Amino acid sequence: MVLAASCLLPGELEPLAGRIVAALQQEAERYTAAAPKITLTAVQFARVTDPASQQLGYEGVWRNVRNDRCGTLTFNGDGSFYAEYDLFCPHPRDPRWFVEMVTAWGNAETIRSEAKLIPAL
């Protein structure tokens, strides 16, 4: 995807973006003892063009206090989306697992979310 300059998310996508952030927050709270506050206001969006389809979309990035990328929210031109937010913490109930991130995907009608677990060392 080709990035354009930073921009605001169009108003028609804001309600969906809010639902996506809420889904990420709910998953994070389910899988962490002290979940971070995931907010839509912290995302910086840029317009993107998919080089294969030439469809316009938006890519948002969350950054931490050190300016490291800690999550993304991408709206595709076909109406679908994918979001992820890094957690990097031990599973709160099962020491065999480590929670790497929470993800959400779908479209305006359906939002699915889950935590990505990796084996603890």
**Cα angle, residue 62 at apex, residues 53 and 79 outer, rounded to 5°:** 30
One-letter identity of residue 100? E
pLDDT of the chain, 121 residues: tens digit per residue: 444 445 678 999 999 999 999 999 999 999 987 888 999 999 999 999 987 889 999 999 999 999 999 999 999 999 999 999 999 999 888 999 999 999 999 999 999 999 999 998 7
DSSP conformation letters of 6-34: EEPPPGGGHHHHHHHHHHHHHHHHHH-SS
Structural domain of 15: 2-119
What is the number of domains present in the chain? Answer: 1
Nearest to 57 by CA among 69, 66, 67, 45: 45
Virtual torsion, Cα 121, 28, 44, 55, nearest 10 deg: 90
Q: Phi/psi at 20 (nearest 5 deg)?
A: -65, -45
